[in-house]
Amino acid sequence: MNAPLYTYNLFSYDVGLVIAMVIGFFFGFLLERAGLGNPRKLTDIFYFEDFTVLKVMFSAIVTSSIGLWILSKTGSINLKDVLVVPTYLWPQLIGGFILGIGFVIGGYCPGTAVVGMSSGRFDALIFVMGLMLGIWLFAEGYPYIKGFYLSGYMSDMSLDKWLGITRGMVILAITLLAFIAFWGAEKIDK
């Protein structure tokens, strides 16, 4: 058991910042290569025309979750040491819903807007300014929203614990669902 490497003090925080740039570089490069810096391509999924968003997102989730599962089964990584955004069920469900609305109106989510900007799109720059205003709005309204913001707390609850089945079973189910979705998406794309 020697991973996550940083957790086991294999390198300093400053080295971590260099790694951040490298990991971020791949993230941005790959989103651009799939065409996800383009808001017309990004929003096409909501008009049943181009399912790139779904294909990229679910291929990535399936790959990464299987990878994590193998690494934890072989004892190379301790999943308890991996930090995740804690679950607050209601604000995350509603936050996701609101984000979906803004996504279709504005054409981006935050990560794709960064790539949209760096591929020369002025509308992405305007969208990012909007993001900052929205974040400011939240911070100003925080005292009034705090109750809802803290509702549905479930700590680091994962689907396997929540459903009472093994992690492998959940990943198998997600993989099957992803393949069904890919099959459906390919049918519609033709």
Partner 1 sequence: MVRHKYSTPKSILKNNYWSPYIVGILLGLTLLSSFYIMGWGLGVSKALTRFTAYVLHVPFPQKIEKNTYFKDYIKEEKPLKDWIVFEVSGMFLGGLVGSITGRRFNLRVERGPRINIAKRFIAAIFGGIIVGFATRLARGCTSGVALSGGAMLTVGGWAFVIGMFSGGYAIAFLVKRLWK
Give me the least distance between CB of 187 and partner 1, in Å please. Answer: 15
Give me the least distance between CB of 104 and partner 1, in Å please. Answer: 5
* Sign, CA torsion 59/60/61/64: positive
Instruction: Give the span between the Cα atoms of 90 and 150, in whole angstroms.
Output: 9
Give me the least distance between CB of 134 and partner 1, in Å please. Answer: 2
Neighbours of 37 (CB within 10 A): 24
Q: Would you state the structure tokens that stand for residue 3, as one six-digit string? A: 């991973």
**For residue 55, what are the CA distances in angstroms to 33, 37, 110, 133, 163?**
13, 15, 19, 31, 26
* Sign, CA torsion 73/178/154/110: positive
Give me the least distance between CB of 158 and partner 1, in Å please. Answer: 4
Residue among 151, 155, 157, 183 at smallest CA distance from 170 = 157
Nearer to partner 1, 136 or 176 (CB): 136
Give me the least distance between CB of 75 and partner 1, in Å please. Answer: 13
Nearer to partner 1, 138 or 188 (CB): 138
